[in-house]
Amino acid sequence: MDIDTEVYGETMELFLDTLMKRTLDGKQVWDNLGYLPARFMLDDRWEEQEGEVSNLFCMETSFKGREYSLKLSESIELLSMKGNIYGILNREDDGKSYEFALSLDGERYKSASAEELRGIYADSLVVNFADMVVEYFGGFPEVIAAGYKDNAYYCNEFFEGKKVEKKWKKMPVVKLGEKLFQEKRMMDFHKIILDTEYRKKLLEEEL
């Protein structure tokens, strides 16, 4: 990593922290909110097909005369069962963007187990920022309801023209994700991303 990239990353972390604190204080207003509820996804980019359950939050805001758009995704990767939070903040006037994610933390994230992530990243800006986003959306039940209404499927029968193998659909976390989707439990899906104890509790209830 060169020094310009490092300085830019540190600056953007401070900016994310500012947006988060201003939002929690009621000073930062976001609009054009969009919510894509929990869904099952497959990824064929790697040698071994990978699956995940994930959701997506979209929102826009202004700060010091500049417009920004944010996309934040929370996911559970089905081979490792590890939770991840990924975001991208775009500056609309010049197209510059900043990506942030737990999985971008290198070896610390890669070497950790699913159960260890919550403790390791307890004070993480990425986690705290995601908590803020979900809390903010919680104040707009009509946006959440529209997300479920406009995205009425959890798992497609086909992925890129191929029938989805039953092994994916049989996975407990996939079934749990579908249950939370059907019951419109956005907050519970948010909690099971990193809280594996709560995830286990809901899985046991499902069984």
Q: Which pLDDT score, from 0 to 100, does residue 166 have?
A: 78
pLDDT at residue 95, as a whole number: 81
pTM of the predicted structure, to 2 decimals = 0.90
Reported in sequence order, the residue ranges of 97-165 that DSSP labels E, i.e. its strands, are 97-101, 158-159, 162-163
The pLDDT of residue 96: 86
Burial of residue 162 (number of CB atoms within 10 Å: 0-12, 13-18, 19+): exposed
The mean pLDDT values, 10 residues at a time, for the chain of 207 residues are: 48 93 97 95 63 95 94 95 96 88 96 97 97 98 96 69 74 94 96 97 83
The pLDDT of residue 157: 57
Cα separation, 182 vs 113, whole angstroms: 29
- Residue 169's pLDDT is 80
81: left (phi over 0), alpha (psi -120 to 50) or beta: left
Q: Compute the distance between CA of residue 207 and CA of residue 202 in angstroms, rounded to an integer.
A: 9
